[in-house]
Amino acid sequence: MNEELEVEFGKQITREFESAMLYRQLAVELELRDLPGMASWMRNHSSEELGHADRLVQHMTNRENRPVIGDIAIPSIKADTVTEIFEIALDAEKDISEAIRALYRLAQEQGDIDSRPTIDWFVSEQIEEEATVSEIVGRLHLVNEDGSGLLRMDAELASAGA
């Protein structure tokens, strides 16, 4: 891949690491609210994000490109409710989806056929991740911060895949 694409791939790797740290921080917020199942779901998701970063690194090194990991910016979290905690995750996923689309367009523009399978994988993954988090947010809206509803969702998410 050329230099411009190499830089943009590097930025995406950094975003995936930031996303992993965001999910870790959201897990902390949930632990503090005595919701260990939801916290565990967030930690599992954090690991998935690290896997995403690795997948991009692997793609680049396979092609003899040098991924450069940038500064990791940890966002500050302002959430009064459990619903808001998951809404932060949903917004972050939407941002990542947008970044993946931009990467797709750039690779397309530059005729970089070899990056297509990797980027296509991310496009599908983002559709799935947004749907998963969006469903959780929808259910949290139904529960409306009710204690027994939250505890039921906590138990469900403890055993659910991220």
Q: Which residues bind ligand OFO (CB under 6 A)?
A: 16, 19, 49, 52, 93, 96, 122, 125-126, 129
Distance of closest approach, residue 156 Cβ to ligand OFO, in angstroms: 20
Contact 114, 63 (CB under 8 A): yes
In the annotated binding site for Fe cation, the residues are 16, 49, 52, 93, 126
Q: Which is nearer to ligand OFO, 29 or 129 (CB)?
A: 129
For 78, half-sphere exposure in the C-beta direction (CA atoms, 13 angstrom radius) is: 0
Distance of closest approach, residue 144 Cβ to ligand OFO, in angstroms: 26
Q: Which is nearer to ligand OFO, 28 or 131 (CB)?
A: 131
Distance of closest approach, residue 145 Cβ to ligand OFO, in angstroms: 25
In the annotated binding site, the residues are 16, 49, 52, 93, 126
Q: Residue with CB nearest ligand OFO?
A: 52
The H-assigned helical ranges of 33-160 are 36-62, 82-109, 116-143, 147-159
Q: Which is nearer to ligand OFO, 18 or 150 (CB)?
A: 18
Look at the block and give the residue holding tokens 């941002």. Answer: 95
Look at the block and give the residue holding tokens 């896997």. Answer: 51
Phi and psi torsions of 51, nearest 5°:
-65, -35
Question: How far is residue 54's CA from residue 108's CA, in Å, rounded to a whole number?
Answer: 22
Distance of closest approach, residue 93 Cβ to ligand OFO, in angstroms: 5
Look at the block and give the residue holding tokens 């949290």. Answer: 140
Q: Which is nearer to ligand OFO, 19 or 83 (CB)?
A: 19
Question: How far is residue 143's CA from residue 114's CA, in Å, rounded to a whole number?
Answer: 45
